[in-house]
Amino acid sequence: MIRKLHKLMSRTGRRLAGLPGMMLRFASRAARWLAGQPAMLFMSADDERLAAEEPERFGRAWLGLIIGSVLWGLVLANVWGISWKVFRDPDLLIMPAAVTLALYCLWPFSRAVVALGWRLGGHSAGGQTVAIAVIVVVLAMSFMRLSPDWSRWEFPRLHPWIEWLRPQAKLYRVLVLMPAWGAWAMLITVKFCRPGQRTEPQVAALARGCDAIAVAVFMAVLLGVSIAYFHHHLGLGGQVLVPLAPIVAAIAGGIGFSRSPGGLTRQSLLAANLTTQIVFILAYLAGR
């Protein structure tokens, strides 16, 4: 009996010892699978990698962009929250802002930052570099201006398991919604603008496959959530500005970037994405 128990404990110990390796292999496979999805390729792959993909894969990339943007917003909010707890200073938000901004700009919005910089900087390399630097500074200052706004609590309190649906710290609401508004900007742009001669086949496939009803429903959901999130603690101007500003920025920015040299391309869509996110966070800060 003792020998059997000893063997059982030995097997269990070996399995537990191999658990971290199994989890690491699973995480590695999941990361590779995620990196190969059309929506992620569209956001973060280089031009050569994107061109090597079959255009038909991007016919339903709009759905991945919607889901991915929502999940990425939750990731940003959790990264901010974890770094906030690590540095243990409820009043000093510089380090959480820096950590979140670094993740935001390095992946998966690094190409969006470059795309917007190229669009704003003109044809000169120096102008593009300056534009990228200005974009990063604006994002950094905006992130550092975010605050939890604990003074305005909303009731009834949600259960801790579902509190992430309506976090009491208002800055989390901004981080959750930013990527979603950016994704909607790309989808509404492909519905307003037609592919041209310079449009990548993958972008053309995205435009053909993007469902207009789904884009309208996505906008309605974002609009409703934005109003529900911010109508308690913003003045009348902010209540109108926060939901309206990203819609105007998405349509105007998407059409404007798509009519510039190059037409409707991935670069113009990424530029519209980031423009809409910046306008959204600035509208929140202005109306707060």
The answer as to whether 41 is a domain residue is: no
Residues 28 and 68 in one domain: no
pLDDT for 240 equals 80
Write the CA distances from 17 to 3, 9, 21, 28, integer angstroms. Answer: 21, 12, 8, 18
Q: Is 221 exposed, middle or buried (0-12, 13-18, 19+ CB in 10 A)?
A: middle
pLDDT for 257 equals 94
The answer as to whether 40 is a domain residue is: no
Residues 53 and 143 in one domain: yes
pLDDT for 20 equals 59
pLDDT for 165 equals 72
Q: What is the pLDDT along the chain (288 residues), one digit of tens a residue?
A: 555 555 555 665 555 455 555 655 655 666 676 778 999 999 999 989 999 999 999 999 999 999 999 999 999 999 998 988 888 766 667 889 999 999 999 888 999 999 999 999 887 888 999 999 999 999 999 999 888 776 565 656 666 666 667 777 888 999 999 999 999 999 999 999 989 888 999 999 999 999 999 999 999 999 999 988 887 666 666 678 888 999 999 999 999 999 887 789 999 999 999 999 999 999 999 887
Backbone angles phi, psi at 8, to 5 degrees: -60, -45
The answer as to whether 243 is a domain residue is: yes
Q: What is the pTM of this model?
A: 0.86
Residues 169 and 201 in one domain: yes
The answer as to whether 174 is a domain residue is: yes
For residue 97, the SS3 value is helix
Contacts of 271 (CB under 8 A, 6+ apart): 112, 115, 116, 118, 119, 253, 257
| Amino acid identity, position 74 | L
Short-list 139, 80, 71, 130, CA closest to 105: 139
Helical ranges in 36-169 per DSSP H:
38-44, 47-51, 61-87, 94-106, 110-121, 125-145
Residues 25 and 140 in one domain: no
Residues 121 and 232 in one domain: yes
Residues 248 and 136 in one domain: yes
The answer as to whether 52 is a domain residue is: yes
pLDDT for 22 equals 60
Residues 11 and 50 in one domain: no
Residues 28 and 50 in one domain: no
Contacts of 43 (CB under 8 A, 6+ apart): 65, 68, 108, 109, 111, 112, 270
Residues 73 and 165 in one domain: yes
Give the Cα separation of 191 and 119 in Å (integer): 21
Give the Cα separation of 71 and 176 in Å (integer): 8
Asked if 180 contacts 69 with a C-beta cutoff of 8 angstroms, the reply is yes
Find the domain containing 6 and state its range: 1-35
The answer as to whether 178 is a domain residue is: yes
Residues 5 and 136 in one domain: no
Contacts of 278 (CB under 8 A, 6+ apart): 135, 138, 139, 142
Short-list 203, 185, 211, CA closest to 266: 203
Asked if 249 contacts 184 with a C-beta cutoff of 8 angstroms, the reply is no
The answer as to whether 222 is a domain residue is: yes
Residues 21 and 79 in one domain: no
Residues 25 and 131 in one domain: no
> How many domains would you assign to the chain?
2
DSSP secondary structure letter of residue 58: G
The answer as to whether 53 is a domain residue is: yes
Give the Cα separation of 99 and 215 in Å (integer): 32
